[in-house]
A and B are shown apart, each in its own frame.
Chain A
């Protein structure tokens, strides 16, 4: 069974309905191949143990980023995790091949409804417009970016809808890597950037 690491990053898990339910379901006994790493519980002082995090990913085939959308992006500790753990020479750059061939799956939720993520809505863009940084991060470290699982209107979602969402998440985790659409996604096309194209240091 392919090993899965779920990186859960919610700064106020005590107020969370969706992320909390998803994380708990993923940690359930019927998913022994899944390891849930609650980043805010592991690093309440924002001091990420890079070596531990890197070794946790070593034999994982799928890495899940589970977080609510805050300011159109990931929560700060997950961003810090990316800054620290996806290190030069480990995740990218010379010898940085530790994550190559693995999959990255974004599982997230927004407070705004689906209608709010439209050109005529409050957020003015479709939600897809906020995904390129994720996709390109996966691309740079050689991971395949799987289609995200997004729940809109997380504050108002009913118990039944939330339950369906959790079930979808669990069945996806359980059936990975045998997802119907996965065949159609090409493996990550790793490209070495020519040295001359590398932008100068922006210090």
Chain B
């Protein structure tokens, strides 16, 4: 088979596997990551054996993780990263060190030699950045307390990888085949690492933006894409050359560019590469599970998986409690960090090379980590179905959460862009609403401007009571999340029937659902802004400003009438489509009639003239 055909066949297999497995997994409600992992197992050496070189693929696909961290870095301006230094270094080190120590102790207790136990524990303490961040992105929970915690710990793990890899060769060697690694080279590596990071930071600050500007000026979109990729590849290569985590380097490059004007462009250019490579990475993880090892000692593998996940989970639950992660978010936090990670593979490989652990133990550990990565998305599905709903409805008040009873006339739930505008108009007229938001950073920010803002999940009954929902007159539901918004509306209608609900609808479907619940004041968040733009368009085309205003307002009224009319059928999609078509025709007819009437009146000279005297010129 010549080279071209191999490439074609391989692409064919991967793409087909992904295209089949992922939609299937999502349809089953399992999330895309499980889809990729299962696809990997199916096409891998222990499935249909369509592909056998999992390791090669894994190396290529690791670049997906690198790209992902670059993109995560792009979202974090240096100032925000600096603000996160405590969660990163504080909680990150707590997680890695206490998990590793506990696992080492457990290993020693089971009669494993301490150097082996320590090396294995350090590898097992790592969590899968790929799965963790992909899950955070898939669920859009990056800004929550749990999301920030997960991100912080994972960033620390990437940093910690450097000293861990430097430390491994220093451990007493189990077998006789000690490699040439010496203590000296460990320190040298560390020094090189620091030098490269410093160079990256300084060089990045000075050179990155000017060069991107120069490239952007060439006005060749694909060259900008190429430059984006080159930037990440070059950073990764540089880090790799000095034995650092490629992902960490990419992350730093991302942070350096987070404030640049090219942030969005870089993001959109790299997003598809990241997605596909990450998928490939998961497929490779699925393929690399060595079922021979697992089948040889299934009990031992199961014990290792359960053991290390349990130990890490204990540490994480304790951490989540101290970190004040909301109760409902704790399972996500614990599960995402309790799993093993791809970096564990590297640690085991390095340990095996250094002779700290033997090859069999290494492949046993690799299998355990891979299985934990496979189980994680499944565990999340189970937790989502059965645990989180129960946790969400109870839980003790947390730090910074609303605790003093409030008695303002208005409560605003959700204080993002939408809620803030509502709040500002109220404040300008001397009313101080009680504000609830689940984003602690947001709360901190608006408090600085003097808002009576409280951290808390507005869909919790006890919190609503403390916020004064029983005495308030109006509840503004301005939450981003549709499900949460509907949950809050249900809760308010059931327990605080005196509240007038004023709701923000994200889209028409959301509008229908709010309407179905009897909410009288619903505004679609973009509708009026778009109408104003349409007015500007009409004006730019030469319409009189007042005519443009009348046309837009009439359109608005007509549109609302149609929405009300179609509301009872919103679950019947075909009916809805048919109605909206008829509605559009009616609208066009209505506007055309109006134009025709105007024109005809214009021509009926006599009476129009009388009108200009008696009834006014229209």
- Could you tell me which A residues sit within 8 Å of B by CB distance? 45, 47, 49, 79, 82-84, 86, 88, 92-94, 136-137, 140, 193, 195, 198-203
User: Would A136 and B607 count as touching, CB distance under 8 A?
Assistant: no
19 A-B contacts (beta carbon < 8 Å): A47-B550, A47-B553, A47-B554, A47-B557, A82-B616, A83-B618, A86-B615, A93-B607, A193-B610, A195-B606, A198-B607, A198-B609, A198-B610, A199-B609, A199-B612, A200-B605, A201-B608, A201-B609, A202-B617
**B314 vs chain A, min Cβ distance (A):** 60
Which chain B residues border A203 with CB–CB below 8 Å?
612, 617
A136 touches B611 (CB 8 A): no
Q: How far is the CA of A49 from the CA of B613 in the complex (A)?
A: 24
Q: Are the C-beta atoms of B608 and A136 separated by less than 8 Å?
A: no
Q: A47-B557, A88-B601, A199-B609 are in contact. List 17 more A-B contacts (CB 8 A).
A: A45-B553, A47-B554, A49-B557, A84-B618, A88-B607, A88-B615, A92-B607, A94-B607, A137-B614, A140-B614, A140-B615, A193-B610, A198-B607, A201-B605, A201-B608, A202-B612, A203-B612
- B611 proximity list for chain A (CB < 8 A): 88
Residues of B within 8 Å of A45, CB to CB, are 553
Interchain CA distance A94-B611 in the complex, whole Å: 13
Q: List A contacts of B617 (CB < 8 A).
A: 202-203
B607 contact set on A, CB distance < 8 A: 88, 92-94, 198
Given A82-B615, A86-B615, A88-B601: A199 and B610 interface contact (C-beta under 8 Å): yes
Q: Are B616 and A83 in contact (CB under 8 A)?
A: yes
* Interfacial chain A residues near B605, Cβ < 8 Å: 198, 200-201
The chain A residue with its CB closest to the CB of B613 is A199
Question: Which residues of chain B are near A86, meaning CB under 8 Å?
Answer: 615
Q: What's the Cα separation between A153 and B614 when bound, in Å?
A: 30
Q: Is chain A's binding surface mostly helix, strand, loop or mixed?
A: loop
B612 touches A198 (CB 8 A): no
Q: Is the CB–CB distance between B557 and A200 below 8 Å?
A: no
Q: Which residue of B lies closest to A198 (CB)?
A: B606
Closest B-chain residue to A195, C-beta based? B606
Cβ proximity bits B307-319 to A, threshold 8 Å, 1 near / 0 not: 0000000000000
The interface residues of chain A lying within 8 Å CB-to-CB of B557 are 47, 49
A137 to B615, CA, bound (A): 8
Interface on B for A, CB 8 Å cutoff?
550, 553-554, 557, 601, 604-618
A94: B residues at CB distance < 8 A: 607
Most buried by B among A92, A94, A200, A201: A201
The minimal Cβ–Cβ distance linking A83 to chain B, given in whole angstroms, is 5
Nearest-Cβ distance from residue A53 to partner chain B, whole angstroms: 13
Please, how many angstroms separate the alpha-carbon atoms of A92 and B550 in the complex? 23
Please give the distance in Å from B502's CB to the nearest CB on chain A: 16
CB contacts (< 8 Å) of B550 on chain A: these are 47
| Shortest Cβ-Cβ A-B pairs, 5 listed | A198-B606, A201-B609, A202-B612, A47-B553, A93-B607
Instruction: Give min CB distance, B427 to chain A, whole Å.
Output: 20
In the complex formed, the residue of A with least CB distance to B608 is: A201
Minimum Cβ distance to chain A for residue B284 (Å) = 60
Q: Is the CB–CB distance between B613 and A202 below 8 Å?
A: yes
Chain A residues with CB under 8 A of B606: 195, 198
Interface centre among B605, B611, B616 (most CB of A within 10 A): B611
- Interchain CA distance A130-B615 in the complex, whole Å: 16
Residues of B within 8 A of A83 (CB): 615-616, 618
Inter-chain CA distance A195–B607, complex, in Å, is 9
Q: How far is the CB of B98 from chain A (nearest CB, A)?
A: 62
The complex places the Cα of A198 from the Cα of B612 at a distance, in Å, of 11
Residue of B nearest to A46 (CB): B553
CA distance A186 to B557 in the complex (A): 42
Q: Name which residue of chain A comes closest to B614, CB basis.
A: A140
In contact, B609 and A92 (Cβ under 8 angstroms): no
- B618: chain A residues at CB < 8 Å are 83-84
Q: Cα distance A22–B564 when bound, in Å?
A: 34
Nearest residue (CB) in A for B618 is A83
Task: Give A84 to B609 CA distance when docked, in angstroms.
Answer: 16
Contacts of B554 in A (CB 8 A): 47
Residues A88 and B608 in contact, CB atoms below 8 Å apart: yes
Q: In the complex the two chains form, is A200's CB within 8 Å of B553's CB?
A: no
| B605 (CB) vs chain A CBs: closest residue | A201
What residues of B have a CB within 8 angstroms of the CB of A195 in the complex?
Answer: 606
B residues less than 8 Å from A92 (CB atoms): 607, 610, 614-615
Q: CA separation between A47 and B560, bound complex, in Å?
A: 14
Q: Across the interface, which residues of A come within 8 angstroms of B601, CB to CB?
A: 88
Q: A92 vs B601: C-alpha distance in the bound complex, in angstroms?
A: 13
Residue numbers in A under 8 Å from B612 (CB-CB): 199, 201-203
A28 to B610, CA, bound (A): 39
Cβ of B616: which chain A residues have Cβ within 8 Å of it? Answer: 79, 82-83
Query: How far in angstroms is the closest Cβ of chain A from B606?
Result: 4
Within the complex, the shortest CB–CB distance from B558 to chain A, in Å, comes to 11
Q: Which residues of A lie under 8 Å from residue B609 when comparing CB positions?
A: 198-202
Tell me, rounded to whole Å, the shortest Cβ–Cβ distance linking A54 to chain B: 14
Q: How far is the CB of B560 from chain A (nearest CB, A)?
A: 12
Q: How far is the CA of A173 from the CA of B274 in the complex (A)?
A: 76
A152→B607 CA distance, assembly (Å)? 37
How far, in Å, is B236 (CB) from chain A's closest CB? 57
**Measured CA separation A195–B605 after assembly (Å):** 10
Min Cβ gap B404→A in Å is 33
In the bound complex, how far is the Cα of B606 from the Cα of A202, in angstroms? Answer: 10
Name the CB-closest residue of A to B553. Answer: A47
In the complex, what distance in Å separates the CA atom of A21 from the CA atom of B618?
34
Report B-chain residues with C-beta under 8 Å of the C-beta of A201: 605, 608-609, 612
Shortest Cβ distance from A177 into chain B, in angstroms? 27
- How long is the Cα–Cα vector from A198 to B613 in the complex, in angstroms? 10
Q: For residue A140, which residues in chain B have a CB less than 8 angstroms away from its CB?
A: 614-615
Q: How far is the CB of A41 from chain B (nearest CB, A)?
A: 15
Residues of B within 8 A of A199 (CB): 609-610, 612-613
CB distance from A136 to the nearest CB of B (A): 7
Tell me the nearest residue of chain B to A93, going by C-beta: B607
Distance A79 CA – B606 CA, assembled complex (angstroms): 22
Residue of A nearest to B552 (CB): A47
A94→B604 CA distance, assembly (Å): 11
A83, B546: Cα distance in complex, Å: 15
Output the least CB separation between A196 and chain B (Å): 9
Q: How far is the CB of B615 from chain A (nearest CB, A)?
A: 6
Kindly state the separation between the CA atoms of A92 and B618 in the bound complex, as whole angstroms.
Answer: 15
